[in-house]
Amino acid sequence: MRPDAARSLPLTDELSVVFARMSGLLLSRETTESLLPLTTSLASEVIAGAAAAGVTLTGPRGERVTEAATDPRVERADSLQYELDEGPCLTAWKTRSVVRVDDLTTEARWPRWAGVAAQSGWRAALSAPLVAGDACLGAMKVYADQAGVYDARSERLLTLFAAQVAVMVSNMQTYEASRRSSELLKTALRDRDLVSQAKGVIIGARGVNEDAAFALLVSTGRRLNRSVRDIARDIVDSAPKRRR
């Protein structure tokens, strides 16, 4: 959708078009890494005056990361915010409110960031927090090459758009966490079975009870600086195989 076409629609119709296009994303994508480029591209198309868009989330070590951007200049402007710890995106995240910059060449709230961002060609910016329930997952932002292109309508649209993105990101993170938990559970069950087999081998070979067999596994692991699972695997692998 072109910016002029989006602006010609009433806001409710505009959103219905946006959310209809977004509704199938979770069905066709399995990770946030593939989801976010689609949503940022859609945002840059829908928000009138936007030249590029991006999403900032928390990285694996708690750092702030631009997970998706439609223009390399977005990544550079964002990286500068992270380095200086100032800027509209970070402020939107911290305050959970929409932050608008009408003209970066005269912006006084973050002078260090605004000056460098303006040198990259950006003239305006709009950021909205990604809020899902009680959590703020990050922020979504759009940049413009011209000053004064964003207004109250743009703010409402980006806020509602970001809310949809936040829900999808939250759902995907929950799904991925559940999948990781499932894999951990499967691994734990496999390890438990392996240890049980090793204890059986020790009991059969030494005539000790189950507690003593497990204690032997633990003490051997400590002595060799290896995990109980690895010791158990060695014992099971080296045990005589029964003939059928």
Complete DSSP assignment for 143-211: EESSTT---HHHHHHHHHHHHHHHHHHHHHHHHHHHHHHHHHHHHHHHHHHHHHHHHHHHHHHH---HH
Q: What is the pLDDT of residue 2?
A: 45
Helix pair angle (210-224, 152-206), 10° resolution: 110
Which of the residues in the chain have pLDDT under 70? Answer: 1-33, 175-182, 184-186, 188-189, 241-244
What local confidence, expressed as pLDDT, does residue 18 receive? 61
* Plot region of 225 (φ>0 → left; ψ -120 to 50 → alpha; else → beta): left
Same domain, 117 and 26: yes
Does residue 138 sit in the same domain as residue 191? no
In this structure, the answer to whether residues 128 and 190 fall within a common structural domain is no
Q: How many domains does the chain have?
A: 2
- Residue 216 CB partners (closer than 8 Å, separation 6+): 202, 206, 208
Give the DSSP per-residue string, 93-155. HHHTS-EEES-TTT--SSHHHHHHHHHTT--EEEEEEEEETTEEEEEEEEEESSTT---HHHH
In a domain, 244, yes or no: no
The distance in angstroms from the start CA to the end CA of the chain is: 69
Between helix 72-84 and helix 111-119 the angle, nearest 10°, is 160
Which amino acid is it at 210? E
Which pTM does this prediction carry?
A: 0.66
The whole-angstrom separation of Cα 77 and Cα 145 is: 13
In a domain, 243, yes or no: no
Q: What is the pLDDT of residue 242?
A: 58
Q: Do both 38 and 63 map to the same domain?
A: yes
Res 135: pLDDT:
86
Q: Which domain holds residue 223?
A: 186-238
Q: Are strands 99-101 and 124-132 parallel, antiparallel or unpaired?
A: antiparallel
Q: How far apart are CA 39 and CA 44, in angstroms?
A: 9
195 shares a domain with 167: no
**Token representation of residue 146:** 């011209």
Identify the burial level of 6 via C-beta atoms within 10 angstroms of its C-beta, where 0-12 means exposed, 13-18 middle and 19 or more buried: buried
CA 138 to chain centre: 9
Looking up residue 232, the CATH number of its domain turns out to be: 1.10.10.10
pLDDT number for residue 197: 85
Output the pLDDT for position 1. 44
State whether 196 and 214 are in the same domain. yes
